[in-house]
Amino acid sequence: MPNVNQSQSNIPSLGVGTFRLKDEEAYNSVTMALEVGFRHIDTAQIYGNEEAVGRAIKDSAVAREDLYVTTKVWNDKLNKASFVDSVKESLSKLQLDYVDLLLIHWPSPENGESMEEYLGELLKVKTLGLAKEIGISNFTVAQVEQAVGILGEGVIATNQVEVHPYLTNTKVRAACEKHGIVVTGYMPFAVGKVLKDDTIVAIAEKHGVSAAEVVVAWELANGLVTIPSSTKRKNLETNIKALELTLDAEDIAKIDALDCGDRQATPDFAPEWD
């Protein structure tokens, strides 16, 4: 089994995402991911699959201490009244005593709560031992600065944002690097778009690997954690094989140059992106 190496934080640099996966599909994807060697599983309250993910973890032979599980708090729970209880509900669904990482899913509280309020609750969850690490997701440069101002340096483990060859998100990545915050890149394949890109296909042919392996290896070469998802065992096996692929500087530069700001995740409550 490949060594799933660690990032600056304790976050394994390659994980498996579960966005858009429901019920048995989520259960089967996580089950297969654990079987092929993944140990980092990413879910969220809004995905509606924490129960299925928890069941897959429970039914697997993998010891809890060998797993890294992430979930995220949704926009309607970003307040003192609901936050901690929502995390306890997530843990109940996941059949876990704690998550390894808890994130604010979007800096978009439904009722306009202040960042001080919801980050205070996030920190409380860590203090209570319900999450080992805490972080943020979809935060802009200004919001990263604000969050660090509230929580202090060295508290935020990651900012999970969309990163792929068509959206390299360099400004946010630079802001995170300045504060020692690991960036987790979600949607690495841009919903499959980048896997058909001529440049990426040519690099894949050069190395005798798949386009998916090239994209994952590019994310890892850029110091990112990444969480591709799949419902097919073959694709999960391919994704984890990317840990064995080393791209050269020319490959990385060519992929970096594909950035065209093609963002996939743009809900109406999203912040004003950098």
Q: Which residues are annotated as a binding site for substrate?
A: 105
- 3-class DSSP string for the chain: CCCCCECCCCCECECEECCCCCHHHHHHHHHHHHHHCCCEEECCHHHCCHHHHHHHHHHCCCCHHHCEEEEEECHHHCCCCCHHHHHHHHHHHHCCCCEEEEEECCCCCCCCCCHHHHHHHHHHHHHCCCEEEEEEECCCHHHHHHHHHHHCCCCEEEEEEECECCECCHHHHHHHHHCCCEEEEECCCCCCHHHHCHHHHHHHHHHCCCHHHHHHHHHHHCCCEECCCCCCHHHHHHHHHHHHCCCCHHHHHHHHCCCCCCCCCCCCCCCCCC
Is residue 47 part of the annotated active site? The answer reads yes
Among residues 27, 47, 118, 166, which one is catalytic? 47
**Enzyme catalytic residues:** 47
